Chain A
Amino acid sequence: MTSWIDVGSDADIPLRGARRLLIGQTPVAVFRAGDGALFALIDRCPHKHGPLSEGIIHGRTVTCPLHNWQISLDTGHALGADTGCTPTLQVASRDGRVLVDVAPLMLAAS
């Protein structure tokens, strides 16, 4: 099952930037890499729950603002020597709108 919600326009997610939103109690971060690709992750670092949406984005990686763990935007996995994983969500851009599939969150809630 998928459940897409419209989280904003393409222009709302700047290049090498991120925006945060709440789905129920869960913070979700929507990122745009330098090559324009969109990603969505639960906005919690696997280390100590730092807000990944506030990190610096480079390549397809975000560096957590709290202790500099590097998290892959593709997989949510911590890179390098660190281990841990943040759940990813599907994201798509359609007709200028950014859509996120929040079905996994709704499943978890129910």
Chain B
Amino acid sequence: MPVTPRARPRPNSRPRLVVIGNGMAGCRAVEEILALAPDRFAITIIGAERQVNYNRIMLSPLLAGDKTFDEIVLNDASWYADNGIELITGCAASAVDRDARRVELEDGRVLPYDALILATGSNPLMLPIPGMDLPGVVTFRNVDNVETMLAACGKGGRAAVIGGGLLGLEAAAGLARNGMDVTVVHLMPILMERQLDQSASYLMVRELERRGIAVLLEAKTAAFEGRERVEAVRFDDGGVTPADLVVVAAGIRPNADLARECGLDVKRGVVVDDALRTSDPSIYAVGECVEHAGLCYGLVAPIWNQCRALASTLASDGALAFKGGETGTKLKVSGVEVYSAGLFAGHDRQEDVVFRDAARGVYKRLVFDNERLVGAVLFGDADDGPWYLSLIQSGASVIDQRETLIFGRAVTEALAGANPRSAVAGWPDTAEICGCNGVCKGAITNAITANGLSTLDDVRAVTKASASCGSCTPLVEALLASMLGEGYEAGPAVKTVCRCTPYGHSLVREQIIARRLTSIPAIMQELEWTTPDGCASCRPALNYYLLCAWPGEYEDDKHSRFINERAHGNIQKNGTFSVVPRMWGGLTSPAELRAIADVADKFKIPTVKVTGGQRIDLLGVKKEDLPAVWADLGAAGMVSGHAYGKALRTVKTCVGTDWCRFGTQDSTGLGVRIEKFMWGSWTPAKVKLAVSGCPRNCAEATCKDIGVICVDSGYEIHLGGAAGLHIKGTEILCKVATEDEALEVIVATTQLYREDAHYLERIYKWMARVGLECIRLRVIEDAAQRLALFERFVRAQTYSQIDPWAERARGVDSDEFRPLTPALTEAAE
């Protein structure tokens, strides 16, 4: 244990200042004290680590091989010697005797103090799971940890990093740089959820994947497994991923053990006042071990302020109190600039302004509270972070700049006082407008003047701007408008999905396929949504589009579904639900009816009613009873009727040749067959079918979305009826000879509708928009396309023909149906 020789004789008169913790806060505090009063104290620093004070932030570059240890040292041995500081390394303080004012070291030595500073930092969180102590499982906090990791890297192989926060991602990037195959495992759906929101997290995942790092979100680690050393990580869903090295970076906890044991006031960290004083007036604390005004800090910027305040307390007049509060966090996570600052919640009438540049991978979000800027998240371009922070801290009104603030400082200042709508008019000529075709503003304005262009299509033809993905269309239109003034008339506006986007449904659906967008955040980023997470109109639409585009691959986002589809029942005006079990083709049996009656009795269901779709509706079921109701119905063989969904609802039938003297075909049998084939599929809007056994049409097939009228020679397939808000008779799509053909046409048409319609567009509206002829061409004339559509439907059904009621009766998604049960009153004050 090296002890630096005393450089200067210590006059006994000087008070003894002992610092526990030779880390970033402890040493910085000492530096600040020395700057104010070089000779005030006789100083001793006790450090558990073997090294002199080094820059912990630089552990990541050390791991990545970009820096050597010497390059990250902050205070070398001569600093301690020159300042007359006694340094004890590799030896932890084991106790503080407050009465005697002495610190005890683990090797038995005892150091008296007049003033004591606790700067013990934090400890990495350990996971309370089996295998945490296996060799090969490490945390990421100090130089020794890095050395263990580098030794493992030498052998190559696979690494798992548990925790997708700042530390975890830094560790992952470093290990990947050293040639390991890295997987990041994160409990939450969002990486770095303290600093990022979902959109920025999406960009981060993409960036990591570009570097070959795999990311598993919402994965809960259950155990580390291996015989001699770690070999694999097991998840709570039973999944396993092999790992030769595991880095646990699941968070940190203030290291307040010493303080707690000697009876200081400790909550999450050592409680201090604005002067950094603990509950004992001769003991101070600073850094990550501290709790100030209910907050603990884990980044250096606020900690530096603490160090200055502490020095002011100890070596000056104490005027510089620590105020805590907001600071910005600028981070470079594996090379990507990220900045977050301010508050994102708990204020009146907050509003978001979002800017996305898909081509550059930039995402910015500003949060306003009335006239003030209160928060900012920047990803990919963080240069303006400190400027936003200064606006947040000043609390001044930014109402005049609100429209331009998001474009950054340069644009805002250039445009101060100008018409905000012509923001783009104020951009420099070199500013890129169209990312796809690399067209800058000057090229467009020149073309407009030189060629006398006056429409969007002209500009597209001449410059190619806005001719590819179209996302810059609003900018080009704004340029035209600003140059032509009244002379410019915008083209007919497409009906946009909602106010979060300038695009219409068709464009969004095309782009999902063309650019292989597989998640809601991906769509919002790549198509430059103007809100952070959409609205109640676009999210259900996008969720459906993704489900339809990527069956089996896209994971349904239940929080983007309307309550009826989330809870698999119809919400009623009093918040109860209705339950409609499927009755295939309208057929039921004594056993089913008995089960329904029993359920109605058992759960005191107030109303039982026959529906227009030939089945039975149980109304007024309490939400928490739903899974049990479904379990009982399921035991009698019944499944969800999807009466609550944008989905296949009913196939109504008449009794046909089975019983009716007019029947021409087995209409009941065909209806049952169609329903068994198609139930469970999600569609843009509800889909109702019917099969009538003869043109007398007792099943009312000619006002259904798809209807079948049986005739002697076969089956007429009808399309596009409606009998609700609007009344509309069907039109004949085709006539076929066999049941098999009828099924094929109906299924293929439904699939075309699933792939092509706008969300919430019923079949009759879709038909009016695209034309019956167009549908006929693709489903009837083109046999190959019909077959392909049929097969895509069948493939999708393998993932959707799973009874959602049975799943939930088994306990899937149980939180949805269980109210919270509050614990007893915790504290009244």
Contact = CB atoms under 8 A, between A and B. Distances in A.
Genuine A/B complex: yes
A68 B593 CA distance: 36
B144 interface: no
B276 to A, nearest CB: 23
Contacts of A72: 349
A58 B534 contact: yes
A79 to B, nearest CB: 9
Contacts of A55: 536, 563
Contacts of B190: 15, 36
Contacts of B536: 55-56, 58, 63, 68, 70
A25 B582 CA distance: 35
A35 B97 CA distance: 45
A3 B825 contact: yes
B23 interface: no
A30 B820 CA distance: 9
Contacts of A19: 815, 819-820
Interface string B186-207: 0011100110011000000000
A95 B294 CA distance: 11
B349 A59 contact: no
A2 interface: yes
A109 interface: no
B259 to A, nearest CB: 18
A34 B828 contact: no
A59 B352 contact: yes
B411 to A, nearest CB: 24
B821 A21 contact: yes
A74 B197 contact: no
A55 B575 CA distance: 11
B819 A14 contact: no
A11 to B, nearest CB: 9
B563 A58 contact: no
B819 A74 contact: no
B664 to A, nearest CB: 45
A36 B193 contact: yes
Interface string B541-582: 000000000000000000111111011000101010000000
Nearest to B354: A59
B506 to A, nearest CB: 23
Contact of A8 (B198, B534, B820): B820
A38 interface: yes
A82 interface: no
A57 B532 contact: no
A78 B821 CA distance: 28
A58 B345 contact: no
A44 to B, nearest CB: 9
A54 B567 contact: yes
A38 B820 CA distance: 15
B563 A54 contact: yes
A66 B348 contact: no
A89 interface: no
B720 to A, nearest CB: 27
Interface string A1-41: 11111111000101111011111000000100111111100
A57 B536 CA distance: 7
A74 B350 contact: yes
Nearest to A79: B349
A12 B819 CA distance: 10
B347 interface: yes
A42 interface: no
A99 B190 CA distance: 23
B348 to A, nearest CB: 5
Given A1-B829, A12-B815, A51-B571, 5 more contacts: A19-B815, A37-B345, A56-B562, A57-B559, A59-B533
Interface of A: 1-8, 12, 14-17, 19-23, 30, 33-39, 48, 50-51, 54-61, 63, 65-66, 68, 70, 72, 74-75, 77, 95, 99-100, 103
Q: Which 7 A-B pairs have the closest CB atoms?
A: A37-B345, A63-B536, A21-B820, A34-B533, A54-B563, A56-B536, A16-B559
8 contacts: A5-B825, A5-B826, A14-B559, A34-B198, A39-B345, A54-B567, A56-B562, A74-B347
